[in-house]
């Protein structure tokens, strides 16, 4: 996995910088070899005196974030949880519910920058893909400021869909953007794609369209927070809004993995020769071919010709099922 190789004398200051940027991977143990310390990290980063290298690391035992619990309970603890800004969101299954207060207290104790622990109650659902969350410990709040790829996003983690697990995928996308591009982000949420692109590229203009009014309000606030100059946001249903657009975009991003293909016909209305489209979906590993089948069928109906550029697995959804992205170019 990705790692930073740091001379021992600089280890403490590099660790602080990694923690501040929320790049340290707490699931693995840093290791010492000779005069160097190796930190497991989530994303590539440039830090003075540190070298980016590939390394293997020992997984931290789950107990590291939990004190004084029976062993059979420790074994059932989730191996990971999301940290969004200063909020931890954890999945507590029925069989360990009895211990949730102790688990939450331990998480607060072991994560000094975290102020609030929430637990998931159900899955992302509804048109806005939001998730009910229950307060467990710390400060009683659901709003936070999250940092990634040199941007900040303010959001309510219950009223707005957001996944910190997609930060490297967002980086993959912004690294493809060329100077002067006009970009459309459908389903833009509180703005993770919009702002990572605005901050890290020389795109000319980025339009984000989001239907959830709460997500849209946060996204508007995030324009100010990120001092973004080339971002325009609209609170609308893409289906109603896209037909009104005269612009034909250089790049169209479709981060609605559940049934995004149903919006392809709408997306085809704003493409031109050379447009690159990033189409997300959920597919089982035995049926990855279905992602392209769905695209091929919609493109045929619309009389659109395309060339497939890349197929990327960009996250786990459930056992055997992945979040995938198809990149294709309009011909
Ligand atoms: C999976 S979330 C992705 C949000 C954001 N792009 C991100 O990565 O955090 C999908 C988003 O699409 C929005 N949405 C769903 N249907 C929509 C539609 N017809 N028009 C515009 N936005 C829609 C939802 O409210 C939600 O915020």
Domain at 84, CATH number:
3.30.300.110
Does 291 share its domain with 309? yes
- Domain end (from 94, 110, 141): 141
Domain count along the chain: 3
Query: What is the distance in A from the centroid of ligand 1 to the CA of 211?
Result: 7
Residue 267 phi/psi, 5-degree rounding, is -60, -35
Confidence category of residue 124, pLDDT binned at 50, 70, 90: confident
Q: What is the CATH number of the domain that holds 317?
A: 3.40.50.150
Residue with more model confidence, 62 or 323 = 323
Indicate if 306 and 167 belong to the same structural domain: yes
Residue 62, pLDDT > 60, answer no
- Smallest CA separation from ligand 1 atom 5, residue: 189
Among candidate residues 112, 141, 170, the one where a domain is terminated: 141
Specify if 153 maps to a domain.
no
147 in a structural domain: no
C-alpha 213 to ligand 1 mean position (Å): 11
Question: Is the domain of 175 the same as that of 235?
Answer: yes
Shared-domain flag, residues 118 and 220:
no
Domain presence at residue 101 = yes
Does ligand 1 have an atom closer than 6 angstroms to the CB of 228?
Answer: no
pLDDT tens by residue, 184-224: 999 999 999 999 999 999 999 999 999 999 999 999 999 99
170 within ligand 1 shell (Cβ under 6 A): no
Q: Which of 235, 228, 144, 244 is nearest to 188 (CA)?
A: 235
pTM given for the model: 0.82
CA of 157 to the centre of ligand 1 (A): 14
Q: Range of 277's domain?
A: 159-330
Half-sphere exposure of 130 (CA within 13 A, CB side): 17
Alpha carbon 83 to its chain's center: 11
Range with the lowest mean pLDDT among 1-10, 226-235, 272-281?
1-10
- How many Å from the N-terminal Cα to the C-terminal Cα in the chain? 37
The distance from CA 79 to its chain's CA centroid, rounded to whole angstroms, is 18
**Cβ(128) to ligand 1 under 6 A?**
yes
pLDDT digits (tens, 9 = 90+) for 259-272: 888 999 999 999 99
CA of 176 to the centre of ligand 1 (A): 22
233 and 305 part of one domain: yes
User: Does residue 88 have a pLDDT over 70?
Assistant: yes
Q: Return the residue whose CA atom lies nearest to atom 20 of ligand 1.
A: 237
What CATH number does residue 23 fall under? 3.30.70.2580
């Amino acid at each position: 996995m990705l790692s930073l190789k740091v001379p021992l004398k600089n280890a403490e200051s590099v660790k602080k910088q990694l923690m501040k940027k929320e790049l340290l991977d707490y699931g693995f143990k840093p290791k010492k070899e000779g005069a160097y310390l190796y930190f497991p990290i989530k994303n590539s980063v440039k830090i003075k005196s540190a070298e980016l290298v590939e390394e293997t690391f020992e997984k931290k035992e789950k107990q590291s974030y939990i004190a004084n619990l029976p062993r059979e309970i420790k074994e059932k603890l989730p191996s990971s949880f999301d940290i969004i800004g200063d909020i931890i969101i954890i999945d507590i299954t029925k069989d360990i519910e009895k211990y949730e207060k102790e688990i939450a207290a331990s998480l607060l104790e072991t994560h000094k920058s975290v102020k609030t622990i929430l637990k998931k109650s159900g899955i992302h659902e509804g048109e806005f893909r939001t998730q009910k969350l229950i307060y467990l410990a710390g400060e009683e709040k659901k709003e936070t400021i999250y940092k990634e790829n040199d941007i900040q996003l303010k959001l309510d983690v219950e009223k707005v869909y957001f996944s910190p697990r997609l930060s490297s995928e967002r980086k993959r996308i912004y690294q493809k953007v060329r100077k002067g591009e006009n970009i459309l982000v459908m389903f833009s949420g509180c703005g993770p794609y919009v702002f990572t692109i605005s901050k890290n590229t020389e795109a000319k203009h980025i339009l984000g369209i989001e239907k959830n009014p709460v997500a849209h309000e946060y996204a508007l606030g995030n324009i100010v927070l990120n001092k973004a100059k080339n971002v325009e946001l609209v609170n609308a249903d893409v289906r109603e809004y896209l037909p009104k657009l005269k612009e034909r975009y250089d790049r169209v991003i479709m981060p609605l993995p559940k049934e995004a293909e149903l919006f392809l016909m709408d997306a085809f209305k704003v493409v031109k020769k050379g447009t690159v489209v990033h189409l997300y979906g959920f597919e089982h590993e035995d049926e990855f071919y279905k992602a392209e089948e769905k695209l091929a069928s919609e493109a045929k109906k619309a009389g659109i010709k395309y060339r497939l550029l890349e197929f990327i697995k960009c996250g786990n959804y459930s056992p055997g099922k992945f979040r995938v992205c198809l990149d294709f170019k309009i011909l």
